[in-house]
Amino acid sequence: MSDILTSIINGSAGEITLSVFFVCLAAALILGTAFAYVYSKKSESSKSFVTTLAMLPAIVTVVIMMVNGSVGAGVAVAGAFSLIRFRSAAGTAKEICAIFMSMTLGLACGMGYPLFAMLFTVIMSVVWVISQRVRLGGENSAELARNLNITVPEDLNYSGAFNDLFDRYTTGARLIKVKTTNLGSLNRLTYRISLKEAENEKALIDELRCRNGNLEISAAAPAFDNSAL
């Protein structure tokens, strides 16, 4: 067990040989891919995000190896990373956790602890699977959130027109956008709602159709774009 906490880089007098490099890089790629596979099976994610989770440990591993033993280089690399700006939508808490997990795997492999990284991957993957099955914190409110688009005639006073239905079927509703369509003869209202129960969605839409003259209504889960990650 003590071998897990012993760096293979320290065992080589602090020098990164070609064999040590390939061992650490292979461990980072294998463990990163394994964790990405577990994440993709238990969470909805884009292909680019899963690929990022698989490759990020190897990238961090090489960076840590390059600054190994050099305080000045370490500070320079930290400053360079701090300048990186991601032009993408904010990720969910699960995605942020997954990114930190991949970075931790890369740090462990880069410091020469592939066995420690493997043990950490196994433990955290088991915890991840259990947390998704048990649903810690109760029912996932994100699964009940919807962006609701309602098309109404221009002469309809939409302020408060659907409040009684929202009180009956949702735990909260907020008007976030109003847009005119069809040369101004129609208004498209966009609400952010949270259903009380997923089974209520069809009943809510049916009653809304009676209020808006059977014009177009659409409901979709709020989308988080991971394509830029």
Give Cα separations from 90 to 124, 164, 174 (angstroms). 24, 33, 20
Give me the amino acid identity at 148. L
pLDDT of 12 reads 46
Tell me what the pLDDT averaged over the chain comes to.
78
- Measure Cα distances from 213 to 55, 113, 132 in Å: 52, 65, 42
Q: Tens of pLDDT along 141-163? A: 567 889 999 999 999 888 889 99
- What pLDDT is attached to residue 170? 92
Cβ pair 21, 72 in contact under 8 A:
no
Quickly count: other Cβ atoms within 10 Å of residue 152's Cβ.
Answer: 22
Position 69 scores a pLDDT of 55
How many helices and strands in the chain, by DSSP H and E? 7, 4
Q: Is the pTM of this model over 0.85?
A: no
217 Cβ contact partners less than 8 Å away, ≥ 6 residues apart: 148, 149, 150, 151, 205, 208, 209
Please say whether the dihedral angle defined by the alpha carbons of residues 86, 90, 96 and 99, taken in this order, is positive or negative.
negative
How much is the pLDDT for 164?
Answer: 93
pLDDT in tens, 93-137: 677 778 778 878 877 887 778 888 888 888 888 887 887 676 555
| DSSP conformation class of 177 | E
| pLDDT reported for residue 229 | 35
Q: How far is CA 221 from CA 49, 53, 124, 176, in A?
A: 19, 24, 28, 15
What residues have CB less than 8 Å from 195, skipping those under 6 apart?
Answer: 144, 145, 146, 169, 170, 171, 201, 204
Q: Tell me which CATH code domain 141-220 carries.
A: 3.30.70.260
Specify whether the CB–CB gap between 154 and 199 falls below 8 A. no
pLDDT for position 153: 93
Q: Helix or strand or coil: residue 46?
A: coil
HSE-up of residue 44 (Cα within 13 Å, Cβ side): 9
pLDDT in tens, 183-213: 889 999 999 998 988 888 999 999 999 999 8
Looking at residue 57, what is its pLDDT? 85
Q: So where are the chain's domains?
A: 2-134, 141-220
39's CB contacts (< 8 A; 6+ apart) are: 45, 50, 53, 98, 128
pLDDT at residue 71 greater than cutoff 80 = no
Strands, sheet with 217-220, edge to edge from the N-terminal-most edge strand? 170-181, 186-195, 145-153, 217-220
pLDDT of amino acid 91 = 60
- Does residue 24 register a pLDDT over 60? yes
Mean per-residue pLDDT for 51-76?
Answer: 72
